[in-house]
Chains A and B, each alone.
Chain A
Amino acid sequence: MLQLATAISKSEIADNIYELVLKTALGKYTLRPGQFVHVRVSKSVEHVLRRPISISNIDKGNNEITITFRAEGPGTKKLAEIKEGETVDVLMPLGNGYNIESAKAGEHVLIVGGGIGVPPLYELSKQLHERGVKTTHVLGFNSRKDVFYEADFKAFGETYVATADGTYGTKGFVTDVIGEIGTGFDKFYACGPKVMLKVLDETMPMDGFISLEERMGCGFGVCYACVCDTKDGRQVKICTDGPVFEKGAVVL
Chain B
Amino acid sequence: MMDKLQIKLPGLDLKNPIMPASGCFSFGEEFSHLYDLSELGAIMIKAATDELRPGNKTPRVAETSSGMLNAIGLQNPGVDHIIENELKFLEQYDVPVIANVAGTKIEDYVEVAEKISAAPNVSALELNISCPNVKEGGIQFGTDPETAYRLTAAVKEVSTKPVYVKLSPNVTNIVEMAKSVAKAADGISMINTLIGMRLNNSGRPILANTTGGLSGPAIKPVALNMVYQVRQALPDIPIIGMGGIATVDDVLDFISVGADAVAIGTMNFTNPYICKELIDELGKKTEEMNLNHIHDIKGRAFL
Q: Does B24 contact A (CB under 8 A)?
A: yes
| A48 contacts B217, C-beta separation under 8 Å | yes
**Which residue of chain B has its CB nearest to the CB of A45?**
B217
**Which residue of chain A has its CB nearest to the CB of B76?**
A224
Given A46-B66, A91-B272: A222 and B58 interface contact (C-beta under 8 Å): no
| B67 contacts A48, C-beta separation under 8 Å | yes
| A224 contacts B72, C-beta separation under 8 Å | yes
Please give, as numbers and ranges, the residues of chain B lying within 8 Å of A216 by CB-CB distance: 61
**Which residue of chain A has its CB nearest to the CB of B247?**
A45
| B270 contacts A50, C-beta separation under 8 Å | yes
Q: Mark A133-173, 1 if CB is under 8 A from B, else 0.
A: 00000000000000000000000000000000000000000
**Which residue of chain B has its CB nearest to the CB of A49?**
B63
Interface size class of A (residues with CB under 8 A): 20 to 34
Per the bound structure, the CA–CA distance linking A1 and B33 in Å amounts to 9
Q: Mark B251-264, 1 if CB is under 8 A from A, else 0.
A: 00000000000000
Prevailing SS type, chain A contact patch: loop
| B26 contacts A49, C-beta separation under 8 Å | no
Given A48-B269, A222-B268, A222-B269: A217 and B68 interface contact (C-beta under 8 Å): yes
Please give, as numbers and ranges, the residues of chain B lying within 8 Å of A1 by CB-CB distance: 33-34, 272
Which one, B31, B55, B65, B216, contacts A222 given CB within 8 A? B31
Per the bound structure, the CA–CA distance linking A45 and B272 in Å amounts to 14
| A222 contacts B68, C-beta separation under 8 Å | no
Please give, as numbers and ranges, the residues of chain A lying within 8 Å of B34 by CB-CB distance: 1-2
Please give, as numbers and ranges, the residues of chain B lying within 8 Å of A221 by CB-CB distance: 26, 30
Q: Does B54 contact A (CB under 8 A)?
A: yes
| B273 contacts A223, C-beta separation under 8 Å | no
Residue among A75, A214, A225 with the highest chain B CB neighbour number at 10 A: A225
Q: Does A31 contact B (CB under 8 A)?
A: no
Q: Mark A1-28, 1 if CB is under 8 A from B, else 0.
A: 1100000000000000000000000000
Q: Does B293 contact A (CB under 8 A)?
A: no
Closest 7 CB pairs of A and B: A225-B61, A222-B26, A215-B59, A49-B63, A218-B269, A45-B217, A225-B60
Interface residues of chain B, those whose CB is within 8 Å of chain A, are 23-26, 30-31, 33-34, 46, 54-55, 58-63, 65-68, 70, 72, 75, 206, 216-217, 246, 266-273
